[in-house]
Amino acid sequence: MTVEIKREKSKEIYEKLCKVIPGGVNSPVRAGIGNGFTPLVADFALEDQVVDADGRKYIDYCGSWGALIHGAAHPEILAAAKMRMEKGTSFGITTAIEEKIASKIVSLVPSVEKIRFVSTGTEATMSAIRLARGFTGRQIIIKFSGNYHGHADFFLVKAGSGVSSLPQSSSSGIPEECVKHTLCLPFNDVKSCLAVFNNLCFAQKIAAVILEPIAGNMGVVPASTEFIQMLREETKKQGALLIFDEVMTGFRVALGGAQSLYQVTPDLTCFAKIIGGGFPAAAFGGKREIMDCLAPLGSVYQAGTLSGNPVAMEAGLKTLTLLEVPGFYEELKRKTDLITEPVNQFLKERNIAACIQQSGSMFTLFFGLKEVRNAEEASLYDKAAFTRFFKYMFDNGVYIPPLQMEAWFVSNAHTDEHLIKTRDLIINYFA
């Protein structure tokens, strides 16, 4: 069913936004460029729904790009934030609440002995790379095509998420010098990695390898166990650091993150999204001997006015505490499977060129593809089909991430009724 929806108020606001903010958005992916209509203009959200400026409701699978694992405006998270706000919103002075959430993460992620909070995932990954370079005294970093680690200059080479829609999936405005030490290799490709690790030109020159262990920014594409284990072995041999970018997967795919699923211990891990509970917070952490190279103890400088903001820390701590409820992740998987299992079965039975790839409560419905193992395969998706599907779901009151190279997120607030409605809409689209 596709009915022409008016959305006059949203259009009016978006036109005004476009006059003073590039593309009317403060982050490109929100514009849904290419989908051909006024993007969602949110007014408020509650539980598993977001309501637009025209009062129209949408079941929300973006969830602040994965942050809202408990749904929007969770009462206990709001109460924690409000209590903290009444004591002051920011000091620029260290506080006890920072220790409480830091100790919580240290207790939940064994590879993290010490942690430093920042405000965005970009800061976390950018700082982790600087720390790795400072700790090893080396310059070369290895990333993988289709992985997105935020918008620090040296990462914007064949990146995923919104960057994947740019020519050569990289950004203009970046001097060659900024990326000459960035090697971008094919994801899940053991052979090409070993060729680099065994190349004497790179011997003792690689500072770090960074990856999304379960990629979400080319759509959901898990790394193979063989690939991850090879990276751990080879970085150890090379004296390079292995950095897991768990900005998206941290506390999403499991309480211990993707590293607990692969049973692989990275040297550094980056977090964001969920740890802020909907407020701006991110972090990077790892072995004490590495982390203590950071100023003020060591010579690797990294700083931030709002780093460890007490309101975000309070909301984040409550968010993490609510994740520790026994059976939380099993229930989240059950909810997600209400969509993914019947849809995948339907697609297979009808031999339809589409597939869902999933890890826990994050998944991607790929169009025109039956399996996706890397960015090159992901880039072959059926663009027209995705655009049609996005509009069909939008018109039927379901908001999914407006790009194919993204992940859908199910929260604990998603009701079975809304999940079943979503399932039926997807099957109806393909029927």
Active site residue 392: no
Q: Is 148 in the site for ligand KE4 (CB under 6 A)?
A: yes
x/- track of binding to ligand KE4 for residues 195-214 (CB under 6 A): -----------------x--
Q: Which residue is nearest to ligand KE4 (CB)?
A: 121
Q: Is 29 in the site for ligand KE4 (CB under 6 A)?
A: yes
State the Cα–Cα distance between residues 408 and 142, nearest whole angstrom.
27
Contact 260, 359 (CB under 8 A): no
Active site residue 382: no
| Member of 10, 111, 122, 164 binding ligand KE4 (CB under 6 A) | 122
Greatest CA separation found in the chain?
62
| Member of 231, 247, 253, 300 binding ligand KE4 (CB under 6 A) | 247
State the Cα–Cα distance between residues 84 and 97, nearest whole angstrom.
10
Residue bearing tokens 């918008």? 151
Burial class (CB in 10 A: 0-12, 13-18, 19+), 227: buried
Q: Is 121 in the site for ligand KE4 (CB under 6 A)?
A: yes
| CB-nearer residue toward ligand KE4: 231 or 248 | 248
| CB-nearer residue toward ligand KE4: 122 or 361 | 122
| Member of 45, 248, 261, 291 binding ligand KE4 (CB under 6 A) | 248
| Member of 60, 245, 267, 314 binding ligand KE4 (CB under 6 A) | 245
Active site residue 416: no
Question: How many C-beta neighbours within 10 Å does residue 14 have?
Answer: 19
Q: Looking at 274-367, list the stretches that DSSP marks H as alpha helix, in order from N- to C-terminal side.
A: 288-291, 310-323, 328-349
CA 10 to each of CA 37, 38, 54, 359: distance values in angstroms, whole numbers, following the listed order:
11, 8, 6, 34
DSSP states of 55-66 = S-EEEES-TGGG
| Member of 49, 120, 238, 411 binding ligand KE4 (CB under 6 A) | 120
| Member of 47, 48, 234, 406 binding ligand KE4 (CB under 6 A) | 406
| CB-nearer residue toward ligand KE4: 197 or 271 | 271
State the Cα–Cα distance between residues 61 and 138, nearest whole angstrom.
40
Can you give the binding site for ligand KE4, defined by CB under 6 A?
27, 29, 65, 120-122, 125, 148-150, 161-162, 212, 216-217, 245, 247-248, 272, 282, 406
* Enzyme catalytic residues: 148, 245, 273
